[in-house]
């Protein structure tokens, strides 16, 4: 099997601030909504917190060396807003900003392209206390924050991602109470989603002004949706699930309007939109970031929320998250996004799998299932490129085992195993596999056969 990738293809790995940094209250960092949320009893498995996480704040040099060892071409990380602006607005914390400056320098010295995400869910608690994303002004405060980061790092960072997965921030955080800030109000979730998109648009404007040559995008969690049967009702359910997850974000970003069928369906829950908002939201993007893990299969069920029931397909292989392994879905998703929205460029900004890894008696972590998962998905990227879809890079989630939100430390997604007691990092076999893929510029008979 041969799957050669184009010259310059960016092989990467991804992380986020709250999931790896730790140092939650060091060097004048402000509290984030996640620092607060994890302290509510019962919210996180085993009562885990990100207080220490992978201690990356103190170990970033070592971690950059791990990346260099893999041969990574790019590294996607996020900046913690409250580390830079402890109160969310005004009052810059130079030590916090300097941390990212040193990280970027270390990456560049290692020949690794930094992909900087501005928001991976850790809003400053001070802003939450003023209303958080429910409040329209937060969108402007976000672009002020973007400007602060851009002024410091714009001379060295080329790739900018405004938001990570606004659907998750809006719904898990404000619709279902599973993520910080823990609110449960569907109408609010939709208003928050609108403000997140608006803040994205404002940040795009700020970045374009401040960073000449910046390549700006957003990372969305997208899935292809399949109806459980050919029946009319199930097809309708699939259309709605698609509207809910995919089109609600893609349409405004690329076409400047919310999908009409969903606006009608949401009725009074639909967000308040001010004239000019949609123009701001649909500012030109240089790339779309696609986070893909699995597909969704749905059935109509009038009793279920929004009339959509998510079905577990029997027989399919699943990861430790319970997510079906469905590599083909990545190709179908990329094809659909390309066909319907034609972003200039696409990066797969997250893809990966959790399995219950542990080192064996030989000290190795034999994560064969992860290797198979990555290999199959990399092949689907290759297939997409072969059909002319502009996929320019691929990021494994994640570089390290880390704090997996409500699941705490129970889910391991890393290429490196982290022993949390000692903070020792151990390359899993998948790390060796990925290093070979990068060195060979794709899958050759050798890497492919493993």
In the complex, minimum distance from the CB of residue 136 to ligand FCB, in angstroms, rounded to a whole number = 25
- Interaction of residue 37 with ligand FCB, rule CB under 6 A: no
Minimum Å distance from CB 219 to ligand FCB? 7
Q: Taking the complex as a whole, how short is the minimal distance between the CB of residue 384 and ligand FCB, in angstroms?
A: 21
CB closer to ligand FCB out of 93 and 117:
117
Catalytic position from the list 21, 31, 309, 350: 350
Site for ligand FCB in 52-111 (CB under 6 A): none
- β-pairing, 287-291 vs 215-221, is parallel
Q: Considering only residues 319-358, where is the footprint of ligand FCB by CB under 6 A?
A: 350
Q: Which of 450, 164, 378 is nearest to 291 (CA)?
A: 164
Restricting to residues 115-144, which ones interact with ligand FCB according to CB under 6 A? Answer: none
Under the criterion CB under 6 A, does residue 165 sit at the interface with ligand FCB? yes
- Alpha carbon distance 365, 19 (integer Å): 21
The least CB distance from residue 398 to ligand FCB, in Å, is: 7
> With respect to ligand FCB, which residue has the nearer C-beta, 162 or 291?
291
> What number of CA atoms fall less than 13 Å from residue 129's CA on the CB side?
10
Of 319, 437, 294, which Cα lies nearest the Cα of 378?
A: 437
Half-sphere exposure of 404 (CA within 13 A, CB side): 20
Instruction: Give yes or no: 350 in active site.
Output: yes
Q: Nearer to ligand FCB by C-beta: 16 or 296?
A: 16
Three-state DSSP state, 419:
strand
CA separation for the pair 426, 418 (Å, rounded): 6
Nearer to ligand FCB, 16 or 199 (CB): 16
Question: What's the closest the beta carbon of residue 121 comes to ligand FCB, in angstroms?
Answer: 8
Please, which of residues 166-185 interact with ligand FCB by CB under 6 A? 168
Count of residues binding ligand FCB (CB under 6 A)?
12
Residue found by looking up tokens 């993007």 in the block: 285
Cβ proximity to ligand FCB: between 244 and 266 the closer is: 244
Nearer to ligand FCB, 349 or 447 (CB): 349
Query: 79-109: string of b/e by CB count within 10 Å (b at 16+)?
Result: bbbbbbbbbbbeeebeebbebbbebbebbee
In 222-333, which ranges are E strands?
A: 225-227, 287-291, 296-300, 308-310
HSE-CB at 445 with a 13 A cutoff on CA atoms is 0
Whether the CB-CB separation of 206 and 150 falls below 8 Å is answered with yes
Among this protein's residues, is 165 annotated catalytic? yes
Q: Centre a 10 Å sphere on the Cβ of residue 236 and count the other Cβ atoms it contains.
A: 16
Give me the sign of the Cα torsion angle 175, 306, 351, 282: negative
Active-site residue, selected from the candidate residues 165, 309, 324, 404: 165
Cα pseudo-dihedral 64, 398, 215, 438, rounded to 10: 70
- Spatial contact of 266 and 209, defined as CB atoms under 8 Å apart: no
Q: Which stretch binds ligand FCB (CB under 6 A): 131-139, 161-169, 197-205, 420-428?
A: 161-169
Q: Which of 3, 5, 16, 43 binds ligand FCB (CB under 6 A)?
A: 16
Where does this chain touch ligand FCB (CB under 6 A) — which range of 122-130, 160-168, 356-364, 420-428? 160-168
Counting contacts by CB under 6 A, is residue 404 touching ligand FCB?
A: yes
**CB 370, CB 38: distance < 8 Å:** no
Name the one range near ligand FCB by CB under 6 A: 136-144, 150-158, 163-171, 304-312.
163-171
The DSSP symbol for 324 reads: B
From residue 184 to residue 223, the character string flagging contacts with ligand FCB as x (rule: CB under 6 A) and all else as - is -------------------------------------x--
Residues near ligand FCB, by CB under 6 A:
16, 19, 164-165, 168, 221, 291, 350, 397, 404-405, 413
Q: What residues act catalytically?
A: 165, 350
């Amino acid at each position: 099997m041969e799957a050669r990738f184009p010259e310059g293809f960016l092989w990467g790995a991804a992380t986020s601030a709250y999931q790896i940094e730790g140092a939650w209250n060091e060097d004048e960092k402000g509290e984030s909504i996640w620092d607060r949320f994890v302290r509510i009893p019962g919210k996180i498995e085993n009562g885990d917190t990100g207080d220490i996480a992978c201690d990356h704040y103190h170990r970033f040099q070592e971690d950059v060396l791990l990346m260099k060892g893999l041969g990574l071409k790019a590294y996607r990380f996020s900046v913690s807003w409250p580390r830079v602006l402890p109160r969310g607005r005004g009052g810059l914390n130079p030590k916090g900003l300097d941390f990212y400056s040193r990280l970027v320098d270390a990456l560049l010295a290692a020949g690794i392209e930094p992909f900087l995400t501005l928001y991976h869910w850790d809003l400053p608690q001070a802003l939450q206390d003023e209303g958080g994303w429910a409040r329209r002004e937060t969108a402007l405060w976000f672009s002020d924050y973007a400007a602060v980061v851009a002024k410091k790092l714009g001379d060295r960072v080329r790739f900018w991602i405004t938001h990570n997965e606004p659907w998750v921030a809006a719904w898990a955080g404000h619709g279902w109470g599973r993520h910080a800030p823990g609110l449960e109000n569907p109408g609010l979730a939709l208003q928050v989603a609108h403000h997140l998109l608006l803040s994205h648009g404002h940040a795009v404007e700020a970045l374009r002004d401040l960073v000449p040559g910046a390549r700006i995008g957003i990372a969305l969690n997208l899935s292809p949706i399949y109806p459980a049967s050919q029946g009319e009702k199930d097809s309708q359910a699939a259309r709605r699930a698609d509207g809910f997850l995919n089109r609600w974000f893609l349409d405004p970003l690329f076409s400047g309007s919310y999908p009409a069928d969903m606006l009608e369906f949401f009725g009074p829950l639909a967000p308040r939109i001010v004239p000019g908002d949609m123009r701001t939201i649909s500012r030109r993007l240089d790339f779309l970031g696609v986070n893909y893990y699995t597909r969704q299969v749905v059935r109509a069920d009038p009793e279920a929320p929004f009339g959509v029931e998510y079905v577990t397909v029997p027989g399919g292989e699943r990861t430790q998250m319970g997510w079906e392994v469905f590599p083909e879905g990545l190709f179908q998703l990329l094809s659909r996004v390309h066909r319907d929205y034609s972003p200039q460029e696409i990066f797969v900004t997250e893809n990966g799998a959790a399995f219950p890894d542990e080192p064996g008696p030989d000290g190795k972590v034999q994560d064969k299932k992860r290797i198979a998962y990555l290999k199959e998905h990399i092949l689907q990227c290759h297939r997409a490129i072969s059909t002319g879809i502009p996929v320019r890079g691929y990021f494994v989630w994640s570089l390290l085992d880390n704090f997996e939100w409500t699941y705490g430390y129970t889910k391991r997604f890393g290429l490196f195993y982290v022993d949390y007691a000692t903070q020792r990092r151990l390359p899993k076999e998948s790390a060796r596999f990925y290093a070979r893929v990068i060195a060979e510029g794709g899958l050759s008979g050798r890497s492919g056969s493993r």
